[in-house]
Amino acid sequence: MLDLNQRVVLDRAGFAALLQALADDGHALVGPTVGDGAIVLDAIAGIDDLPRGVGDDQAPGHYRLRDRGDAALFGYAVSPHAWKRELLPPRVPLVQIRRSATGLAIEAAPAPTRKVAFIGVRGCELAAIAIQDRVLATGAHPDADYAARRAQSFILAVHCGSPAGTCFCVSMETGPRARGAFDLAATELLDGEHRFVIEIGSDAGRAILARVASRTATTDDVTAATAVTDHAATQMGRAMPTAGLRDLLMANLEHPRWQHVADRCLGCANCTMSCPTCFCTSVEDTTDLSGDVATRTRRWDSCFTADFAYVHGGSARPSLRARYRQWMTHKLATWHDQFDSSGCVGCGRCITWCPVGIDLTEEVAAIRAAPAPRSHADG
């Protein structure tokens, strides 16, 4: 019997067998794979669908795959896709309402019954999932669909060895070593034999791992695994000091920098769509041809859209300045008030996928460099 604190080593064939064991156990496998010039998160059949020797170059407004010239399966930083596509899908039916002579019949959408194994979750992403758990599944009125998907997910984390130019998980204390609630976590070792050092995080993880042939990790294996993430921690493309950040932003709600960023921002909402913690949704109504069957669908929304904050009399945030400020202060300041944590995990997606390369770490730095002497929020 494997011990929860035990580390074991799988070679490439062993890792393939682990994925197979998850599939045999009834999990749909979702993991990184190359598609459309990017590493996307999609259904995979097994190890052969993982990227092989593919890295990613990321910079503000820039993303490109590159050939690493090695056999790495997890040799990139993060996919443009966040795991929220699995847990909080872009569109999910909520309720169906059928009109008949006797009134309305309400049918709640059936809870999803699909066991999914998430392959290759990074530390920043694990932190993002924990944040969304907090927002969507632990309040007085949890989101049933999210909670059901979450309860059926198996998480195979892979510690990050290849941060990108837009990463700052070290600042946000979410990586590059995954901490928190994984079932299994792997470190991919490329020096010497291509192998994976596996940590066990749960009984479910232990049970799956017990089904594949592994050997106990040696001190050398464990040292090599630690070295991977220790080195990665020195490779952060960006940094965002967080000391006093909440108060800094709340004291600078009228800072001229908000207009400076609004002048560049297109309001395209790419940042919110790619962010792994952004959870805003809207509910859409559609009817069938007869008009009798109406479906209410939850879909992603964004605080950058013009009608997000519409009430009778107009939008509460007509200007892009106010919308960008809402987004960034929510991530970095008011999230603390609401959920006792930052809403940013430092994954860098919003920076990479902003078409004009707006970089929140740079915006924060600009405000830090010249904070306003006094703010309206104080008085």
Ligand X SMILES: Cc1cc2nc3c(=O)[nH]c(=O)nc-3n(C[C@H](O)[C@H](O)[C@H](O)COP(=O)(O)OP(=O)(O)OC[C@H]3O[C@@H](n4cnc5c(N)ncnc54)[C@H](O)[C@@H]3O)c2cc1C
How would you class 293 by CB atoms within 10 Å of its CB: exposed for 0-12, middle for 13-18, buried for 19 or more?
A: middle
Under rule CB under 6 A, how many of the chain's residues touch ligand X? 3
**x/- map, 303-322, ligand X, by CB under 6 A:** ----x--x-x----------
Distance of closest approach, residue 339 Cβ to other proteins, in angstroms:
10
Binding flags for other proteins, 232-261, as an x/- string (CB under 8 A): ---------------------xx-------
Task: Between 141 and 312, name the residue whose CB sits nearer to ligand X.
Answer: 312
Using CB distances below 5 to 8 A depending on partner kind, what does residue 276 bind out of ligand SF4, other proteins, ligand X, none?
A: ligand SF4
Which stretch of DSSP H or E encloses residue 135? helix 123-137
Confirm if 196 and 228 have CB atoms less than 8 A apart: no
Minimum distance from CB of 211 to ligand SF4 (Å)?
Answer: 35
Task: Work out whether 285 is an interface residue with ligand X (CB under 6 A).
Answer: no
Which CB atom, from 212 or from 354, has the smaller least distance to ligand SF4? Answer: 354
Stretch that binds other proteins, among 38-46, 161-169, 237-245, 279-287 (CB under 8 A): 279-287
The CB-of-307 to ligand X minimum distance in angstroms stands at 4
For other proteins, which is the closer residue by CB, 132 or 171?
132
- Sort residue 226 into left (φ over 0), alpha (ψ -120 to 50) or beta: alpha
Pair of tokens at residue 9: 């080593």
Distance, C-alpha 279 to centroid of its chain: 11
Of the pair 312, 376, the CB lying nearest ligand X is at 312
Contact 78, 165 (CB under 8 A): no
Q: In the complex, what is the shortest distance from the CB of residue 319 to other proteins, in angstroms, rounded to a whole number? A: 6
In this complex, which beta carbon is closest to other proteins, that of residue 10 or of residue 135?
A: 135
With b for 16 or more beta-carbon neighbours within 10 A and e for fewer, the 155-186 pattern comes to: bbbbbbbbbbbbbbbbbbebbbbbbeebbbbb
What is the nearest approach in angstroms of ligand X to the Cβ of residue 314? Answer: 6
Partner touching 338 among other proteins, ligand SF4, ligand X, none, CB below 5 to 8 Å by kind: other proteins
| Residue nearer to ligand X on the CB measure, 255 or 323 | 323
Binders of ligand SF4 in range 249-278 (CB under 6 A): 265-271, 274-277
Q: Is 377 an interacting residue with respect to other proteins (CB under 8 A)?
A: yes
Name the DSSP class of 320: H
Region for 224 from its dihedrals, namely left if φ exceeds 0, alpha if ψ lies in -120 to 50, beta otherwise: alpha
Q: What angle do CA 231, 193, 76 make, to 5 degrees?
A: 45
CA neighbor of 39 nearest in space, from 13, 22, 59, 58: 58
Q: Which of residues 336-375 bind other proteins (CB under 8 A)?
A: 336-338
**Tokens at 50, concatenated:** 């993982």
- The C-alpha atoms of residue 360 and residue 364 are separated, in whole angstroms, by 6
Contact set with ligand SF4 (CB under 6 A): 265-271, 274-277, 304, 331, 344-350, 354-356, 358, 360
